[in-house]
Structure 1
Amino acid sequence: MLSVEEQSAKVLSAARPLEAEAVPIAQAAGRTLAADVHARVDVPLFDNSAMDGYAVIFTDVEGATAEHPMELHVIADLPAGSTAEPELRAGFAARIMTGAPVPRTATAVVPFEHTRDGLQAWDAPAIVTRAPARAGANIRRHGEELHAGAVVAPAGTVLGALQLTGIAAAGIDTVQVRRRPRAAVISTGTELAAPGADLARGQIPESNSVLLASMCAEAGAEVISVDTVADEDAAFTALLQRALRAGRADVVVTSGGVSAGAHEVVKNVLRDRIEFVAVAMQPGRPQAFGRIDDALVFGLPGNPASVAASFEAFVRPALLALQGREAVRRPTLRVAVTTGWRSPAGRQQYVPVTLDRSDPVAWTARPAAADGSSGAHLAAGLARADAYAVVPAEVSAVAAGDLIDVMLLS
């Protein structure tokens, strides 16, 4: 059997970043930068006030106290967005609001809280009862955060709200991002019936297409088709050809039909086009992967727990690599488990677990399945999972209290 690391290396070597496209920042959330973003303007654009208060000449108010206040004549009112440029002379001040341009002749800003009467009519005298700590106090200087041309966000950055805000503040309205990979999902199995349908003997509710479509979308892919097909070679071939036609799909993910049974439709159709291997993992031992035309094709096992673990191990990292992500693995933590279980010797085990985060310095984990087991057939327990416990291949048993690496899903 191949190790998880060996299979993953083959997958990632084939997953090269897709081409870049320009998108407005209003449409860029969740996308990955294909190139560094450089500031178009200085940040801040001009010297501006960090406080609501009075722009002053520092030497006029130096030493002011409640017992010995300094009175200044107010000559202007400067709200945010003001274009006025009053000239301050000794004994003069300008009422100013946060973000407003500071007059060139002002050398400090006194907050309203450090005056006798606080906010009042703009042309009333300013009586300063506490001097600023130093010249330049409460003034944000032009370009002190960054200058035009500086890198705001490097290539590979995933664009969330904070990143987009920083880019917008630097005067940028359009960014170069990697194209979202187009993913087609095909779930195979004659036994599958639509969720909610009346079930005949031998039928089960179909869940893999829901699982895979959701996981692809969460990984940033554009899901272009979701299909369920019986174990019929011709029907599966038609769906695969439709997904690949004219390069529509960058990734095709199938579930079921890759093992050693007599009705393995994916293996029957693709055995000469992609590679079918055994991977030392549980669940998820049978795997298939290869490139057909320009698309990466994944053949995952059929049990939902196997599908979910296989997706996390191989498909999700590939989808992120196609988007140019630098980090393609989930974050991991080492936590104690509250319940023990057996682990198959020689196979890396992925156990869906529920985390107890009530103690912020000592999280714990327990199997998400109601009976504490970790079999490939388990599906309902996935609804309770927010992480995977990843048990190394050389470990055959996990005991309560053991520290285990967990891969965070949320």
Structure 2
Amino acid sequence: MRRTGGSSVAEGIGIATGGEGKFFRRAVKVDEAQQHILTAATGQTMASELVPLAECGGRRLAQQLAATSDWPPFARSGLDGYAMRAADTAQATPDAPASLRIVATVAAGGIAAATVEQGTAARIMTGAAVPRGADAVVMLEQTAEAVLAGGEEAVLIKAAARPGQNVAPRGEEFRLGSPLATPGTVIRPGHIALLGTFGYANVPVYRRPRVAVFATGSELLPVDAPLAPGRIRDSNSYMVAAMIRESGAEPLLCGTLPDKPEAVLAALARVREQCDIVITTGGVSVGDYDVMADIFRGMASHSTEQTRHSYTLFNRVAMRPGSPTSGGVVDGKLVIALSGNPGACFVGFELFARPALRAMQGDACPLLRSVKATLVTSIGKGSPHVRYVRIRLQQNSDGSLLADPLAFSKSSMMASLADADGLAVIPSGSVGAEAGDLIEVLLLP
């Protein structure tokens, strides 16, 4: 891995123009390329910011937060009923209920004015603080109202109570200082409930990475333009933007770029201060007009000992689809160059860009989660590189998973992208995989 210095994008970056070198790019394994990307991404971890509790859902926590009190903060009733001493009901039955004088009524948010002593009880509502002296609550359905000889209100308890029955003791769920969530955790509705409970009106989260998205290729048209001979609409930018949002980041759609290295470098320089990372699609293969390949190859072959702000991480990966996928740092910004083929662009984002964005937001396990599944249909074609095949997951009657390969899964095809919920990992070799084989599947978000 060679590096090249320079204080701006264009300075110190050589642009390779000879076509021959494109055919001799060393392919790194997927896990090696991922490690390069993650090392660069974690070096650019986002700063934290405070956001209101109501707006923090889906963000990643930037600090470990802890319980600010015991929870519950007091012994509370789990239902509507009567609070009493369990010992006073030890002999109670439906035919011979225990009679207890009512000394208080406690609503949620209130405190009983009297202590529950021997022979007494307090009417209590769900969530209310259990009065002093009481150690159990009996539900209303097991009681009956009564009046004592002197006209005082009483309750008849028809079953013996156990100490602690229907009482949530103080600190049952959390103790003061107990951890609520660790940094990098995606804040979900359940977390928000906890944070609100413990008074976190503002929550420290990682800032969302800003991602500049470029599509390279003089053949590309805006999505609202009519088709023209030999031209196609730029759909990749919008797919990538949606995947960026799904990763918790903010896309900056920067349009299309011509197949001219100088124009690409100038565009990167223009967005440098606006973004944290750059993702491009197209221009990474071996054609005469594959501009990103020329830039990365030039960076790899043009090394100086200056400030080393620009360098190539890799410019070919041993994978199908998307082997020309490239990564590097240009003027201090991580740049991931994805294939222009929709299927290869999709796979490349999941393997490299999504993990990078997660790592920049403190995710300690940013790679896609994998499961084992049984292949439904044979994938007979072999490949010199590991293949990532779009599949639909199904659940067998015994709970095991089935991986059903989707049609139209070539790198240039997009028909199956919307239906894929996993990527089957097919090892390299002269043959693919047979129906019935147990394979690894990467789960798509």
Taking structure 1 as the reference length, the TM-score comes to: 0.91
Partner of 2:420: 385
CA distance in 2, matches of 1:146, 1:101: 17
Q: How does 1:160-309 map to 2 (within 5 A)?
A: 160-195=188-223, 197-244=225-272, 246=273, 248-269=274-295, 271-272=298-299, 273-275=310-312, 277-309=315-347
Partner of 2:349: 311
Quick one: structure 1 residues 164 and 237, their matched pair in 2 at CA, closer, same or farther if it must change by over 3 Å?
same
1:336 alignment partner, one of 347, 371, 374: 374
Following TM superposition, where does structure 1 have runs of at least 4 consecutive aligned residues deviating by more than 6 angstroms?
Answer: none
Q: Which amino acid letter does the alignment assign opposite residue 18 of structure 1?
A: M
Partner of 2:98: 70
| Conserved 8 A contact 1:40-1:172 | no
Quick one: structure 1 residues 368 and 196, their matched pair in 2 at CA, closer, same or farther if it must change by over 3 Å?
farther
TM-superposed deviation, 1:265: 2.4
Q: Which amino acid letter does the alignment assign opposite residue 81 of structure 1?
A: G
Give the alignment's Cα RMSD to 1 decimal: 2.1
CA distance in 1, matches of 2:265, 2:114: 77
2:37 alignment partner, one of 5, 8, 11: 11
Q: How does 1:352-391 map to 2 (within 5 A)?
A: 352-357=390-395, 359=397, 361-370=399-408, 374-391=409-426
1:345 matches 2:383: yes
Partner of 1:111: 139
CA distance in 1, matches of 2:122, 2:267: 72
Give unmatched runs, 5+ long, in structure 1.
none
How big is each residue's C-alpha offset from its partner over 1:254-278, in whole Å with a ceiling of 9 and x where there is no partner? 0001121111222345532442522
SS at match of 1:87: coil
SS at match of 2:190: helix
1:127 matches 2:156: yes
CA distance in 2, matches of 1:375, 1:409: 18
CA distance in 1, matches of 2:336, 2:185: 27
Q: How does 1:136-155 map to 2 (within 5 A)?
A: 136-155=164-183
Quick one: structure 1 residues 406 and 108, their matched pair in 2 at CA, closer, same or farther if it must change by over 3 Å?
same
Q: Which amino acid letter does the alignment assign opposite residue 187 of structure 1?
A: A
Q: How does 1:78-97 map to 2 (within 5 A)?
A: 78-97=106-125
CA distance in 2, matches of 1:347, 1:34: 38
Between the two proteins, the alignment pairs up a number of residues equal to 400
Partner of 1:404: 439
| Conserved 8 A contact 1:37-1:175 | no
SS at match of 2:126: coil
RCO comparison, higher one (Cα < 8 Å, 6+): 2
Taking structure 2 as the reference length, the TM-score comes to: 0.85
SS at match of 1:286: coil
CA distance in 2, matches of 1:117, 1:185: 71
TM-superposed deviation, 1:349: 0.5
Q: Which amino acid letter does the alignment assign opposite residue 260 of structure 1?
A: V
TM-superposed deviation, 1:198: 2.5
| Conserved 8 A contact 1:217-1:223 | yes
How big is each residue's C-alpha offset from its partner over 1:133-174, in whole Å with a ceiling of 9 and x where there is no partner? x22221111122222222121223221111222222233223
Q: Which amino acid letter does the alignment assign opposite residue 292 of structure 1?
A: V
| Conserved 8 A contact 1:41-1:171 | no
CA distance in 2, matches of 1:359, 1:396: 30
Q: Give identity over the alignment, percent.
A: 38
